[in-house]
């Protein structure tokens, strides 16, 4: 049996309202979803559960199924998506949430629009970035999504600041028009809740991904009572994502470096919290900007500016990092100068 989820969305008729992403996908009536979507293939597996490609009436969906022990993560993600002004072309379109009981086993569903190109991580593994304009347009789409999340809007149609807290290339999806949208809000927060508590004994936060953690999280100098602090950590992680994109930029001779994860030159494939802390906070490394790209930047002012901008995102002093609004404006200007 399927249980209804209370929703702050007004009741809608299936025909009249679309998902708001411009795709024309109808925003489905909550709670009718689970029974009707046919799960095809597993496309992702993570800490909280599995993600499937599903089909209903020839329409495609991504269905994230949380293990019931991760109900709080599911609820967090659903609550974030259901916030009124979350609809944005650079934020994955949420369609429905559902709780399903199957032979005494509870499944928590979260349905979003399906993007067949998968994550930015998948895309960069398979494809180089052809030129600087393509690189800027991908970067632009990501910062448009992130700055929308970070922005506080006051008023009846308002929205609080949202910190994502798990920005990485696997949590950014590539749309068929080659712009990106931000996904996976299971670590997101609107308030510096006490949920940000460090797990006692381990000193490892219960959100985010170690490889992408900002120095102030790694060395526990972050002030978790302030939401702004988590906006700074998002910008640090974004700097690493921007580097992943830059590192795949084709060189003048048409070749490109292989995809590399941030800090791959310093840590093993499954780095521990301690490994990353050593690399980022003690040795003060940052991902290596290849010699080839530095040479290219000597002749390409826009590339030169992008490299500076990446370095301003991942700087150790969090107060010196660019804000998402500043970053957005800078990237708009760079695109204009091409
Ligand atoms: P987790 O919290 O387990 O990391 P995610 O929501 O990040 O779950 O999804 C895991 C993976 O599934 C993503 O990295 C991506 O490859 C794939 N995925 C998730 N949502 C979609 C989607 N809407 N369209 C296509 N692929 C998706
Ligand atoms: Mg994820
Ligand atoms: Mg996640």
Q: What are the tens digits of pLDDT across the range 178-209?
A: 999 999 998 998 875 544 444 433 456 778 99
CB half-sphere exposure, 209, CA atoms < 13 A: 23
Over 50: is that where the pLDDT of 172 sits?
Answer: yes
- Interface confidence (ipTM) of the complex: 0.98
CA of 45 to the centre of ligand 3 (A): 9
Q: 5-14, 213-222, 284-293: lowest mean pLDDT where? A: 5-14
CB 25 within 8 A of CB 14: no
pLDDT attached to residue 25: 40
pLDDT computed for residue 236 by the predictor? 98
Does residue 129 surpass a pLDDT of 50? yes
Q: Is the pTM of this model over 0.90?
A: no
34: pLDDT confidence band, cut at 50, 70 and 90? low
pLDDT at position 24 over 60:
no
Contact between 18 and 24 under an 8 Å Cβ cutoff? The reply is yes
Tokens, residue 42: 């597993």
The mean per-residue pLDDT over the stretch 70-85 comes to 84
pLDDT at position 135, please?
98
Mean pLDDT over 143-167 rounds to: 92
Ligand 3 centre from 155 Cα, in Å? 30
Average pLDDT over residues 130-154: 96
pLDDT of residue 33: 66
- Helix locations, 151-223, DSSP H: 215-218
Nearest ligand to the C-alpha atom of residue 165: 3
Eight-state DSSP code of residue 9 = S
Which tokens belong to 211? 């490889």
What ligand 1 atom has the least distance to the C-alpha of 183? 6
Percent of the chain with pLDDT over 90: 69
Is the pLDDT confidence value at 283 over 60? yes
Give the residue numbers annotated as catalytic, written as ranges.
166
**What does the mean pLDDT of the chain come to?**
87
Q: What is the Cβ-side half-sphere exposure of residue 276, based on CA atoms within 13 angstroms? A: 22
Q: Is the pLDDT of residue 233 over 80?
A: yes
For the segment 54-68, the average pLDDT, to the nearest whole number, is 93
Q: What percent of the chain has pLDDT over 70?
A: 86
Pick from 89, 119, 181, 186 the residue to mutate for probing ligand 1's pocket: most ligand atoms within 8 Å of its CB.
119
* Ligand 1 pocket: which of 95, 184, 206, 237 to mutate (most atoms within 8 A of CB): 184
151-155, 251-255, 275-279: least confident range? 151-155
What pLDDT is recorded for position 4? 37
Burial of 228 (0-12, 13-18, 19+ CB in 10 A): middle
Q: Which residues line ligand 1 (CB under 6 A)?
A: 43-44, 46-48, 51, 62, 64, 92, 112-115, 118-119, 122, 170-171, 173, 183-184, 186
The runs of H, that is alpha helices, within the chain are 33-36, 71-82, 120-126, 132-150, 215-218, 227-247, 273-277, 291-299, 301-313, 324-337
CA distance 82 to 110: 11
Distance 143 CA to ligand 1 centre (A): 19
Mean pLDDT throughout 42-50?
Answer: 90
Which comes out higher in pLDDT, residue 334 or 195? 334
- Residue with more model confidence, 190 or 91: 91
pLDDT category at 32 given cuts 50, 70, 90 is low
List residues, by chain if needed, whose CB lies under 5 Å from ion ligand 3: 184, 186
Kindly report which listed range (6-10, 44-48, 129-133) carries the lowest average pLDDT score.
6-10
Residue 221 is predicted with a pLDDT of: 94
Distance 169 CA to ligand 3 centre (A): 12
pLDDT at 84: 63
The pLDDT assigned to 105 comes to 82
Where residue 172 falls (left for φ over 0; alpha for ψ -120 to 50; beta otherwise) is beta
Residue 84's nearest CA partner among 191, 160, 6, 150 is: 160
């Amino acid at each position: 049996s399927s249980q209804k989820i209370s929703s702050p969305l007004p009741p809608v008729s299936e025909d009249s309202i679309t998902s708001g992403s411009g795709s024309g996908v109808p925003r489905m009536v909550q709670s009718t979803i689970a029974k009707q979507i046919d799960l095809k293939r597993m496309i992702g597996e993570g800490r909280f559960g599995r993600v499937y490609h599903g089909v209903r009436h020839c329409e495609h969906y991504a269905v994230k199924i949380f293990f019931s022990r991760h109900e709080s993560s599911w609820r967090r993600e659903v609550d974030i998506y259901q916030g009124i002004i979350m609809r944005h072309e650079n934020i994955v379109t949420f369609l429905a949430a559902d709780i399903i009981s199957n032979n005494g086993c509870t499944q928590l569903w979260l349905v979003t629009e399906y993007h067949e190109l998968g994550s930015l991580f998948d895309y960069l593994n398979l494809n180089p970035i052809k030129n600087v304009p393509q690189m800027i347009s991908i970067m632009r789409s990501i910062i448009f999504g992130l700055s929308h999340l970070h922005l506080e809007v006051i008023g009846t149609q308002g929205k609080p600041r949202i910190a994502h807290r798990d920005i990485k290339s696997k949590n950014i999806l590539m749309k068929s028009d080659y712009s990106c949208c931000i996904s996976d809000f299971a670590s997101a927060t609107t308030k510096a809740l006490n949920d940000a508590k460090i797990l006692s004994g381990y000193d490892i936060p219960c959100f985010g991904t170690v490889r992408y953690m900002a120095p102030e999280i790694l060395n526990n100098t972050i002030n978790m009572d302030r939401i702004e602090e988590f906006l700074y950590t998002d910008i640090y992680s974004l700097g690493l994502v921007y580097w992943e994109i830059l590192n795949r930029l084709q060189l003048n001779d048409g070749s490109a470096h292989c995809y590399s994860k941030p800090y791959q030159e310093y840590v093993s494939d499954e780095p521990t919290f301690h490994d990353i802390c050593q690399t980022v906070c003690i040795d003060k490394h940052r991902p290596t900007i290849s010699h080839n790209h530095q040479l290219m930047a000597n002749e390409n002012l826009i590339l030169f500016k992008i490299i500076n901008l990446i370095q301003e995102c991942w700087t150790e002093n969090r107060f010196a990092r660019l804000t998402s609004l500043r970053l957005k404006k800078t990237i708009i200007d760079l695109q204009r100068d091409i």
